[in-house]
Amino acid sequence: MSWLETSIMARKGVAKGETRSEHTLTEAEQGKYHYVYGPYATPTLTVKPGAVVSAETHDAFEGKIRSESDKPSAILNFPYLNPQNGPIFVEGAEKGDALAVYIKSIEPRGPQPRGTTCLIPEFGGLVGTGDTAMLNAPLPERVRKVEIDAKTGVKWNDKITIPYEPFIGTIGTSPEIEAITSLQPDYYGGNMDLPDVGTGAVIYLPVNTKGALLYLGDCHAAQGDGELCGVAIEHPTVTTLQIDLIKGWTIRWPRLENERVIMTIGSGRPLEDAARIAYRELTRWMAKDYGFEELDAYMFLTQAGRVRLGNMVDPKYTIGASIAKSYLK
């Protein structure tokens, strides 16, 4: 028996974690991709809980960076960055519910070298930026194109190959009335750039508006903690999600579950605020659903909590805080 059968999705989902319909969202079906998470776009797809959707995602640059001699600053046109599939309207979803999204698979697509990373002026964790504004001269621009193979990995250079550990960089629901750049992570998900949001995990997202309006994109073939220079190994994919709906489960920030842990995800600035959000949510979750008294959960996480740094480069920084399921029996 798979752990999935005991997941929150399976136990509480309208579709009981079962597959009840199958859909595609090809480039053609998607048509125009989106650059904000908001309620003002027309859904590209309407599904019921239990839907499995295979989406053709673009890379974060919409495929425009094709060679190592390209100049990102000449090609990229803010705010038209980080194109998203969707929105997918989930029938029955209302404010106060949670969407459960099981990541069934992520497969690279497109011609080689299909992976891209680069240095973009005034963007990244070790450079002055538009917000951490400096007078220092920016670093030079630089593009690196790499071959990606789902089996053999990401070929960094002749000597180094990184395992293919794909995840969804940007996924979330629509805010109720805001439309926020897909570059930003927040309470509804968005550009979290957190490697745990990978194949085999279930992510739970707050529903803020009718139909939830699920967006996704920005898949990474590999990424270190913090996404240091701001650009992981970006690549186009076919990403397959199973979508379920949990009625009446009101969560303030994204949560995640895999075979081993439960996790809460916070995004904010400064970075300690991201950690505080994630850990407070986890403390309260353990208190509400796992029999811990609140201060006891706080003290126990002090001894056994784990932290994953998603990004330290986006408009908000992202941290996942988790606890092993083995402690929750």
CB of 271 to a copy of itself, least distance (A): 4
Strand 202-206 relative to strand 185-186, pairing: unpaired
DSSP 104-123: EEEEE-SSSS-EEEEE-TT-
Write down the residue that tokens 């996704």 correspond to: 216
CB of 55 to a copy of itself, least distance (A): 21
Which of these segments, 6-14, 104-112, 243-251, 274-282, binds a copy of itself (CB under 8 A)? 274-282
Which of these segments, 7-15, 48-56, 136-144, 241-249, binds a copy of itself (CB under 8 A)? 136-144
Write down the residue that tokens 């959000």 correspond to: 277
What are the strands, taking DSSP E only, across 207-315? 214-220, 237-246, 255-257, 261-268, 306-309
Which of these segments, 2-10, 46-54, 102-110, 216-224, binds a copy of itself (CB under 8 A)? 216-224
- Distance from C-alpha of 55 to C-alpha of 45, rounded to nearest angstrom: 11
162: contact with a copy of itself by CB under 8 A: yes
- Backbone dihedral angles phi then psi of residue 81, each to the nearest 5 degrees: -125, 160
Binding map of a copy of itself across residues 244-273, x = CB under 8 A, - = no contact: --------x-------------x-xxxxxx
**Binding residues among 90-109 for a copy of itself as defined by CB under 8 A:** none
68: contact with a copy of itself by CB under 8 A: no
CB of 328 to a copy of itself, least distance (A): 9
Strand 167-172 relative to strand 185-186, pairing: unpaired
The pair of three-digit structure tokens given for residue 299, joined into one six-digit string: 């003290």
- Distance from C-alpha of 313 to C-alpha of 7, rounded to nearest angstrom: 32
CB of 8 to a copy of itself, least distance (A): 21
- Distance from C-alpha of 34 to C-alpha of 41, rounded to nearest angstrom: 8
121: contact with a copy of itself by CB under 8 A: no
Which residue in the set 51, 65, 106, 222 belongs to the binding site for a copy of itself (CB under 8 A)? 222
CB of 225 to a copy of itself, least distance (A): 4
43: contact with a copy of itself by CB under 8 A: no
The kind and range of the H/E element at 132 are: none
Nearer Cβ to a copy of itself (35/102) = 35
Which DSSP category does 4 fall into? G
CB of 162 to a copy of itself, least distance (A): 6
CB of 258 to a copy of itself, least distance (A): 17
- Distance from C-alpha of 84 to C-alpha of 170, rounded to nearest angstrom: 8
